[in-house]
Each structure stands twice: as structure tokens, then as C-alpha cells.
A and B are shown apart, each in its own frame.
Chain A
Amino acid sequence: AQSVTQLDSHVSVSEGTPVLLRCNYSSSYSPSLFWYVQHPNKGLQLLLKYTSAATLVKGINGFEAEFKKSETSFHLTKPSAHMSDAAEYFCVVSDGNTGKLIFGQGTTLQVKP
């Protein structure tokens, strides 16, 4: 069965410094992986997705993630944090048969001025 573990429940960075949000997955076959962002009191927005093409995936707002099969990881990075990046981030794996999404617990990103 698929599962996702987000290794940090809370990450705090200063504006202009790099962001790293860590995600490990478990899947019995080649997974589809996603990062979603949720701003306070808003719905979820897709940041980026991996579906077995290039292992380095570029998303919106300068975010990118690298799929590493050997490490079963899909960490999210951004070179320089902006205040507007403060939000909840979810790493998600998809069940390929039904499209059901399995969510991680979420990582709260705090960006300090």
C-alpha cells in the first residue's frame, strides 16, 4: 500500500533563504507524486507533479522537487523564500488504479522577515 511521510511538521526560514520540505514515500510500483499548497482558509493548489518523466520537476512560484527512487524521497525546494510562501504544504502519492490520493500530514512553512 502507498503511504507518505512528511518528515517535518513545521519549518521556519527567513525571507530570501532556501526552503527544503522533506517527503518520503512508500509504493509498490512507480508512483505519481504531487506537492499541494494550502494557504490559510483556502483550498488546495497544485504546486508540481511527478509522473515518471523527468526526475527533477519544476512547479509554480519557483518551487521544484526531485524524485529519488533509491531514497524513496520527493523533497520540495525553493532557492529563496518569499513571505507569500507561508502556508501548509502537502506531499501526496496517487493510487494509480483509482486516482485516490494519499496525503501526508502536512508541513507548515513559516517565513520570517
Chain B
Amino acid sequence: NAGVTQTPKFRILKIGQSMTLQCTQDMNHNYMYWYRQDPGMGLKLIYYSVGAGITDKGEVPNGYNVSRSTTEDFPLRLELAAPSQTSVYFCASSYREVNEQFFGPGTRLTVL
């Protein structure tokens, strides 16, 4: 199993550009999550999904959108990139709500 994979690993965007961060898991997990990690901080939840077709906002959803059309994939969309979105983004998945989450390697995004 590859676990949780994320692409790209690094990206530089100009202000106002858009992009999609890809996340795929091959563990047949129902629950998937997107976090951002700012320097010196813990992770903050952006969006999460409890199954295909079901998504909900986390702590910091503004400026982002998600979709969950399949169990495996959970892409995160930035529509109008802003410098405040410079961060490291982690995708995670879990089998059940009380199980541990498995994290991808992260995407380092810089908005200039």
C-alpha cells in the first residue's frame, strides 16, 4: 500500500492564481482530512469528509473548496491564492472516527 499520497510536493503561486492540491489514499478509509501547518504551529483543520459525497468545514475553511467524488480522492482547491495561504498542507485519512489518522508527506505552497 502506498498509504496517503499528495501532489505536488512543492508549488509557488502568484497572487490570484488558482490550483488544486491532490490527495489519494489506497486504504479504503472513509474519513479524509485537509490540514494546514504554519511555521511553529500545530495543524489546523481546513475541511474534512466522512465519505464519498459528504464534506464539511473545519476550523479554517475560508479561501478553500473540496470535493469527494470517490472514496480514494479528496482534492483541495484554492481559487484566488493569497499570501496568507502560504503554508504546508497535509492530507490525512482514517478508517473510523476514533482511529488514528495517516498523513501524507505534505505540499509546501508559497504564494507571492
Which A residues fall within an 8 A CB radius of B? Answer: 32, 34, 36, 42-46, 49, 51, 90, 94-101, 103-106
Contact = CB atoms under 8 A, between A and B. Distances in A.
A90 B33 CA distance: 17
Contacts of A94: 97-98
B53 interface: no
A94 to B, nearest CB: 6
Contact of A100 (B42, B58, B104): B58
A99 B105 contact: no
B43 interface: yes
B97 A42 contact: no
Given A42-B105, A99-B97, A99-B99, 15 more contacts: A36-B103, A43-B105, A44-B43, A45-B103, A46-B100, A46-B101, A46-B102, A51-B98, A90-B42, A96-B97, A98-B56, A100-B33, A103-B42, A103-B44, A106-B42
A34 B44 CA distance: 16
A45 B104 CA distance: 10
A49 B94 CA distance: 14
12 contacts: A32-B98, A42-B105, A43-B104, A44-B90, A45-B103, A96-B97, A98-B97, A99-B94, A100-B33, A100-B45, A100-B48, A103-B42
B100 A34 contact: yes
